[in-house]
């Protein structure tokens, strides 16, 4: 494999990107002075990928909601035992997660990296599903779904997404429902695995006290030959307007919880520049140092759990304001007023510069943590950006970039409010 070295002279940081013969991308950041290492083996397959076909098929396959998450759970099992038991022998801390647009298997360790990395490359490439183990897992994940259904944080989020989107599958619960996972069998799991766990759709990230050439040698040794699979997910028509503008649910909470979302347009991922600019705009207008935040905090309309963030991935994007409030509707009206005032007055240059410096500082600090670097490289693998792109974006950003989004990107009419109210 030929590896490309990418170096940032101002940061004095570097990393490597290599392409395996299968098409799989490998990202490596050597940190020889660090004591530990972190590795990720991931696939660009998540909960939104419920309808798909491969190149030689004319019809789309529609699979049960929650199957990507179910597959993640089952992949740790093999005929010889459980991957977690194997990791216990090396002392590594292992985990996995399924999000809307990716599934990742990962571990961190302070020694015996090669043994742990071999385990990762092995179990992710060798699925083992039987109907008996699938039925056992249905009960386990069914209990997990019940826990999600009882979580106000989870419920308020998906009520917001269901309100914002008509057809985008991001509105579907990542874990599915008890009814949908009951339809999953071993054959469906193998079909999804063979479709999305082909190496061309996957990536590897390694950072820490490792050597790039050694990592690439191990990948050459353990990555198996797989046929190229061209996957197409089913297109859907997502209307411009929201599905509904308000959704309320009663749950045992002490203070009403809310999420107010603003729907954005995207095909694929939002460009990194847009993501960075929108995140900075939210920090300037609504962050903990903003007059807005402190004014509402003093008035008792919000508490320190209030936040504004960009929520985006492959083919979905929205801005979410979340928190607890005795009067969520008033908070939303105040947010709308803040947007309108900012459109008229523009972004304050001094407040912008303060936030811009904070963003740059946080970006630099991330290089002091192997998990931080690894997660950033995972994002790069999924959206095609480079690890140093954000530094250049932050350095060259001006208030005009944020003003442009106020005028052109954000339409507060495309919004929905989700509220969890206490039992009366």
**DSSP calls for 234-282:** PP----SS-S-SEEEEE-S-SS-EEEEEEE---SSSPPHHHHHHHHHHH
d(CA 14, CA 189): 38
**DSSP calls for 293-325:** HHHHHHTTS--TT-EEEEEEETTEEEEEEEEE-
Predicted pLDDT of residue 227:
81
What is the pLDDT confidence band of residue 226, given thresholds at 50, 70 and 90?
A: confident
**What are the tens digits of pLDDT across the range 167-210?**
999 999 999 999 999 999 999 999 999 999 999 999 999 999 99
Give yes or no: 72 in active site.
yes
Q: Provide mean pLDDT across the span 207-225.
A: 95
Among 72, 77, 238, 312, the one annotated catalytic: 72
Q: What whole-number percentage of the chain has pLDDT above 90?
A: 95
d(CA 311, CA 191): 30
**What are the tens digits of pLDDT across the range 91-150?**
999 999 999 999 999 999 999 999 999 999 999 999 999 999 999 999 999 999 999 999
Nearest of 111, 121, 120 to residue 208 by alpha carbon: 111
Predicted pLDDT of residue 53:
94
Q: Provide mean pLDDT across the span 352-369.
A: 95
Instruction: Kindly report the pTM of this predicted structure.
Output: 0.95
d(CA 69, CA 102): 10
Provide the 10 A C-beta neighbour count for residue 203. 22
Q: Provide mean pLDDT across the span 287-314.
A: 97
Question: Mean pLDDT of all residues in the chain?
Answer: 96
Predicted pLDDT of residue 278:
98
Predicted pLDDT of residue 2:
83
Domains recognised in the chain with CATH numbers: 3-233 (3.30.830.10), 246-421 (3.30.830.10)
Q: What whole-number percentage of the chain has pLDDT above 70?
A: 100
d(CA 321, CA 258): 8
Q: Residue 4: exposed, middle, or buried by beta-carbon count in 10 A (0-12, 13-18, 19+)? A: exposed
d(CA 118, CA 126): 12
CB 227 within 8 A of CB 102: no
């Amino acid at each position: 494999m030929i590896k490309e070295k990418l170096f940032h002279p101002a940061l004095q940081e570097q990393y490597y990107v290599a392409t395996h013969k299968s098409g799989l991308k490998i990202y490596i950041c050597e940190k020889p002075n660090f004591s530990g290492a972190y590795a990720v083996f991931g696939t660009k397959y998540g909960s939104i990928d419920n309808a798909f076909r491969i190149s030689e098929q004319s019809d789309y396959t529609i699979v049960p909601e929650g199957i990507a998450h179910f597959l993640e759970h089952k992949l740790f099992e093999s005929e010889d035992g459980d991957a977690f038991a194997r990791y216990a022998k090396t002392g590594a801390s292992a985990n996995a997660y399924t999000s809307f647009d990716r599934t990742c298997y990962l571990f961190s360790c302070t020694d015996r990296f090669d043994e742990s990395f071999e385990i990762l490359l092995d179990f992710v490439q060798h699925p083992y599903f039987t109907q008996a183990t699938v039925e056992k897992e249905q009960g386990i994940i069914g209990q997990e779904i019940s826990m999600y259904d009882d979580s106000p944080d989870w419920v308020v989020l998906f009520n917001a997404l269901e309100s914002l989107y008509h057809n985008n599958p991001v509105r579907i619960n990542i874990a599915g429902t008890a009814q949908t996972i009951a339809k999953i069998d071993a054959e469906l799991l193998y079909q999804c695995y063979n479709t999305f766990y082909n190496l061309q759709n996957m990536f590897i990230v390694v950072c820490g006290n490792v050597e790039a050439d050694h990592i690439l040698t191990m990948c050459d040794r353990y990555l198996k030959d797989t046929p190229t699979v061209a996957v197409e997910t089913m297109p859907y028509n997502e209307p411009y307007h929201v599905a509904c503008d308000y959704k309320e649910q009663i749950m045992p909470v002490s203070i009403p919880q809310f999420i107010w979302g603003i729907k954005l347009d995207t095909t694929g991922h939002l460009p990194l520049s847009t993501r960075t600019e929108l995140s900075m705009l939210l920090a300037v207008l609504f962050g903990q140092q903003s007059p807005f935040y402190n004014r509402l905090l003093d008035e008792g309309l919000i508490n320190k759990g209030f936040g504004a963030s960009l929520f985006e991935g492959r083919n979905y994007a929205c801005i979410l304001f979340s928190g607890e409030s005795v009067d969520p509707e008033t908070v939303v009206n105040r947010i709308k007023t803040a947007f309108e005032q900012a459109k008229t007055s523009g972004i304050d240059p001094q407040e912008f510069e303060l936030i811009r410096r904070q963003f740059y500082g946080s970006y630099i600090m991330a290089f002091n943590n192997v998990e931080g670097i690894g997660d950033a490289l995972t994002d790069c693998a999924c959206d095609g950006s480079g690890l140093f792109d954000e530094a250049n974006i932050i350095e060259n950003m001006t208030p005009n970039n944020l003003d442009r989004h106020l005028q052109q990107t954000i339409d507060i009419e495309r919004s929905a409010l989700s509220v969890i109210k206490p039992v009366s």
